[in-house]
Homo-oligomer: A and B are copies of this chain.
């Protein structure tokens, strides 16, 4: 009997709208490992559905009777559990340096994108999630969603500035991991997929290295990210 595998993914009011950057990382990681998965829409208010994971955020991967959370920890689990499938990190050095890419994405790239798209995320959430989302995000960024909408131009400018090291890296090689993508690429691409599913505002010209890399990434793993329903 094949192992049952389920992935809880953040969804909007429309259950087919899957936008969480951390969930996209794992969808791509599972495909990279050749592992099938049943995805399940999840909303911020569904804490009970994932209580067995011992925490309250997605992605949550259920494999048999194991409940796993945290995208980095899930990737490390998959790497260890399926060593004969294509590697997510390639080598110990690749693994260690992917952690820096992970932190840069979480600490720098995500906040820069969030300042642009948070109001649009709010608009597509299930009603039951909106109050929670507004409260937590306004506290985190120290401004209201309405102020973020007003500040969008400045936020877009800030976002483009954060891309500089990424542009210069991808000008020299096709993927962050080199000649082929691995989990480091999925980490960063998750952020762009988040922006792409939610908003047409953020669009990187295909004349730029990051724009060209995005086009390549939209084709990897059978084009799973390109096919994803968008909010607009």
Chain A residues within CB distance 8 Å of chain B = 89-104, 106-108, 164-166, 168-169, 172-173, 175-179, 182, 184
Contacts and interface: CB of A to CB of B under 8 A. Distances in A.
A172 B103 CA distance: 11
B96 A175 contact: yes
Contacts of A166: 100, 103
Contact of A96 (B99, B107, B173): B173
Nearest to A163: B107
22 contacts: A91-B92, A91-B93, A92-B178, A92-B179, A93-B94, A93-B177, A94-B94, A96-B175, A96-B177, A96-B179, A97-B101, A99-B172, A100-B100, A100-B101, A100-B176, A102-B169, A103-B168, A103-B169, A106-B165, A107-B164, A108-B164, A108-B165
Contact of A99 (B93, B107, B173): B173
A133 B97 CA distance: 34
Q: Please list the 3 inter-chain residue pairs (A to B) with the smallest Cβ-Cβ separation, ordered nearest first.
A: A93-B94, A96-B178, A91-B91
Nearest to A173: B96
Contacts of A168: 103, 106-107
Nearest to A162: B108
